[in-house]
Amino acid sequence: MTAYQLLVSGLEQLDLPVDPQAVDKLLRFSDYLLEKNKVMNLTAVTDPQEVVTRHFLDCAALVPYIKEGQTVLDVGTGAGFPGMPLAILCPGAQFTLLDAQSKRIDFLTEVAAMLGLANVTPVHARAEEFAAAHRASFDLATSRAVAELRVLCELALPMVKKGGAFYAMKAADCEDEVGSASQAFAILGAPAAELLRYTVPHDGVERVLVRLQKTADTPDKYPRRFKKIQTNPL
């Protein structure tokens, strides 16, 4: 199957609408990602079919949880995952794509301009520093492949509004990681983790969205400095 066919059929398998404009933008993003990947380190994936399955269809599993008008922060977005495909698939929501590496943010700025995405704001910053001016500012946060949950929650949850949620994309066998983060969840204001399981279409890989609904404010002392977060996780 071509990348186009995989993408259309994968979106259908996820019960998502297939908007021709969004499909075109995703495939242009993929082409540019693979072209730029030859001269800078953006992704381990090297063929267009794998970009569709391992990046686009994996990230598309989050689409049903994003509502029109919501603000979404993608922590440690790297080359734009899950934030960029979500911004293309959810044009009615606003996405802030945050990463500590300026070259990746420059790349995402170019992609947003090339595709005319008015709902994407790439930001070069460390999450624990960005949080100081953006406490309780986003309806949702997302993150994939950035850090273990105890660390990740301290980076992301302070920036989520009370009543909002943080979706951490994890491997199917994440139960121990979730279990060891239960104290962190409670301290940071999102005590109950839900595990939403899904299978990536055409890849067959099982994955989990760890959903943390924020029910209380995060105490002002979090996030701490990154060294402290790492050496003494909650």
Applying CB under 6 A, which residues contact ligand SAM? 76-79, 81, 98-101, 104, 126-128, 144-146, 155, 226
- Minimum distance between the CB of residue 127 and ligand SAM, rounded to whole angstroms? 4
| Residue 195 · residue 182 · CB < 8 Å | no
CB of 233 to ligand SAM, least distance (A): 13
Instruction: Pick the closer one to ligand SAM by CB: 12 or 110.
Output: 110
Of the pair 90, 108, the CB lying nearest ligand SAM is at 108
Specify the residue, 50 or 128, whose C-beta has the smaller distance to ligand SAM. Answer: 128
Q: Where are the beta strands (DSSP E) in the chain?
A: 71-75, 94-99, 120-124, 138-144, 160-171, 193-199, 206-213
**CA 93/CA 86 separation, integer angstroms:** 9
Residue nearest to ligand SAM (CB): 78
Q: Which residues contact 144 (CB under 8 A, 6 or more apart)?
A: 58, 59, 76, 81, 82, 168, 169
Tokens of 31: 């082409």
Residue positions counted in the chain? 234
Q: Is the peptide bond between 64 and the residue preceding it cis, with omega within 30 degrees of 0?
A: no
User: What is the closest distance, in whole angstroms, from the C-beta atom of residue 42 to ligand SAM in the complex?
Assistant: 9
In terms of CB distance, is 76 or 164 closer to ligand SAM? 76
- For residue 55, the minimal CB distance to ligand SAM (Å) is 7
